[in-house]
C-alpha cells in the first residue's frame, strides 16, 4: 500500500493517529485489489409526495457523426469543454429508466434494453431489485416511445413478461407506426430502423395477449396524477410524462428529448440522426426545455448522465442542464 502524506494543519496528530488505526483495521493483510464492479445503478430522489428511483440500464456509444444541424467547430468546442467519456464507437450515453412510487402505486417509466443492445446493457430489472422493489409490484409501465432501449425491458431474460401485474401504456401514434408490420417494409422507412420493428412487437406481445397493453391518444387521461405531453419528433408518438408531485412540485420524465447532453442544451437545434422528424424534434425539445425551466420542474432524462435527475435553466437564448446533488434520504444517518 502506498504511504499517505497528510497536511498537518488539516489533520492534527490525535485525529491522524485514530485515522491510521481505522485504516489498519479496515484493510485485510496482504495485497489490496482494486474493486472491479461499480456500485449498483440505483439513485433515490424524494420530490414532494413522490419517491423517485433512477434505474441504470447501461451505456451506449453514440457517434459524433450522428449529430447534425451544428457546424463542426461548434460541435467540437461543446464536446471538448464537457469532457464526455468517449471510446472508439462514440460518446458514452446513459440509458436510464425511472420508478415512481406514490403511496402504494408503482409506475415505471421506460424499461431499458433487456437483451436488445447486447450484454453491456439490460440492467434495469436487477437494479430495480437492488433498490428493494420486486417487478411483480409494478402497477403500470409508461413507455415514452417504442424504441428498443425503452421497451425491450418489458421482457425478462427468458422472454416472458418482466412485469406480470403491470398495464403497459404506449401512445397510439407510436403503436400505429412501430407495431404495424406494414410500416417495416414501406419504401420511406429508413433502413437503420428496420431491425427495430420486430423488437417492438415482441416486447409488447405478451401484454397485448393478456389485455394489458393500453394505447392512448394524446389527449387521453393517463393513470392518476400523470399527464402525457405530446413531444413527437424523435418518433411519431413520443410522449413525455408530467407527474404532479403535490405541494406545487412537478417531475417531467421526458424520454428522448436529448441524446447529446453536452451539445443539445446549448444548441437545441442540433439533431440526432435517429430523430424521425428532425424539425418536429427540435420544436419539441425547445418547447419542453422552456416549460421545464420556467416551471422549475424536476427533470428525469433517459439519456442524461446517470441518474439523469435535475433541472433545466435558461442560458441566454438556449438552456443548460443542472444535475441534482447527491442527497441522503430524510431520517438517514
Ligand atoms: Zn432512447
Query: pLDDT tens for residues 131-183?
Result: 999 999 999 999 999 999 999 999 999 999 999 999 999 999 999 999 999 99
Q: C-alpha dihedral over 118, 119, 125, 128, to 10 degrees?
A: -120
**41 C-alpha to center of ligand 1: Å?**
18
What pTM does this model have? 0.90
- With beta carbons less than 8 A apart as the criterion, state whether 124 and 111 touch: yes
User: How close is the Cα of 84 to the center of ligand 1, in Å?
Assistant: 18
Query: Could you give the 3-state DSSP secondary structure of residue 27?
Result: coil
Q: Which helix (H) or strand (E) holds 111?
A: none
Cα–Cα distances in angstroms (integers) from residue 24 to residues 2, 31, 148, 189, in the given order: 13, 13, 49, 63
Q: Residue 241 in contact with residue 222, Cβ under 8 Å?
A: yes
Q: At which residue does the C-alpha cell 417509466 appear?
A: 109
The Cα–Cα gap between 52 and 296 comes to: 17
301 Cα to the center of ligand 1, angstroms: 10
Give alpha helix (H) positions in 193-277: 194-209, 261-264
- Residue 9 pLDDT exceeds 60: no
Residue 285 CA to ligand 1 centre (angstroms): 14
Give the Cα separation of 138 and 53 in Å (integer): 13
Comparing 2 with 94, the larger pLDDT belongs to: 94
Q: Please give the distance, rounded to the nearest whole angstrom, from the Cα atom of residue 209 to the centre of ligand 1.
A: 25
Domain 41-332: CATH architecture, name and number where available: 4-Layer Sandwich (3.60)
Query: Does the pLDDT at position 236 exceed 60?
Result: yes
Q: 14-43 pLDDT, tens per residue?
A: 444 444 444 445 555 678 999 999 999 999
DSSP 238: -
* Residues surrounding ion ligand 1 at CB below 5 Å: 149, 256
Max intra-chain CA distance, the chain? 76
Cα atoms found within 13 Å of the Cα of residue 111, Cβ hemisphere only: 31
Question: Which residues does residue 102 pair with via DSSP β-bridges, in sequence order?
Answer: 105
Amino acid at each position: 500500500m502506498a504511504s499517505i502524506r497528510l497536511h498537518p494543519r488539516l489533520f492534527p496528530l490525535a485525529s491522524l493517529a485514530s485515522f491510521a488505526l481505522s485504516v489498519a483495521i479496515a484493510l485485510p493483510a496482504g495485497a489490496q485489489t482494486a474493486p472491479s464492479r461499480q456500485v449498483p445503478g440505483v439513485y433515490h430522489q424524494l420530490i414532494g409526495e413522490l419517491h423517485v428511483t433512477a434505474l441504470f440500464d447501461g451505456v451506449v456509444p453514440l457517434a459524433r457523426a450522428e449529430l447534425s444541424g451544428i457546424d463542426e467547430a461548434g460541435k467540437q468546442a461543446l464536446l471538448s469543454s464537457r469532457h464526455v467519456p468517449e471510446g472508439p464507437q462514440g460518446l458514452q450515453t446513459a440509458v436510464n429508466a425511472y420508478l415512481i412510487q406514490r403511496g402504494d402505486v408503482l409506475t415505471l417509466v421506460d424499461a431499458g434494453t433487456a437483451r436488445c443492445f447486447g450484454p453491456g446493457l439490460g440492467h434495469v430489472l436487477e437494479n430495480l431489485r437492488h433498490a428493494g422493489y420486486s417487478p411483480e409490484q409494478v402497477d403500470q409501465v409508461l413507455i415514452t416511445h417504442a424504441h428498443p432501449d425503452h421497451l425491450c425491458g418489458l421482457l425478462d431474460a427468458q422472454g416472458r413478461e418482466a412485469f406480470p401485474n403491470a398495464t403497459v401504456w404506449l401512445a397510439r401514434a407510436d403503436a400505429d407506426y412501430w407495431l404495424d408490420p406494414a410500416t417495416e417494409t414501406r419504401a420511406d422507412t429508413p433502413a437503420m430502423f428496420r431491425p427495430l420493428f420486430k423488437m417492438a412487437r415482441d416486447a409488447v406481445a405478451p401484454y397485448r395477449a393478456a389485455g394489458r397493453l393500453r394505447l392512448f391518444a394524446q389527449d387521453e387521461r393517463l393513470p392518476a396524477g400523470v399527464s402525457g405531453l405530446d413531444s413527437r419528433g424523435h418518433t411519431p408518438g413520443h410522449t413525455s410524462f408530467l407527474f404532479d408531485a403535490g405541494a406545487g412540485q412537478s417531475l417531467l420524465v421526458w424520454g428522448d428529448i436529448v441524446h447529446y447532453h453536452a451539445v443539445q442544451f446549448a444548441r437545441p437545434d442540433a439533431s440526432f440522426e435517429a430523430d424521425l422528424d428532425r424539425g418536429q424534434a427540435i420544436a419539441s425539445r425547445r418547447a419542453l426545455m422552456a416549460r421545464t425551466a420556467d416551471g422549475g420542474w424536476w427533470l428525469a432524462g433517459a439519456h442524461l448522465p446517470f441518474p439523469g435527475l435535475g433541472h433545466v435553466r435558461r442560458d441566454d437564448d438556449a438552456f443548460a442542464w443542472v444535475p441534482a446533488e447527491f442527497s441522503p434520504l430524510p431520517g438517514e444517518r
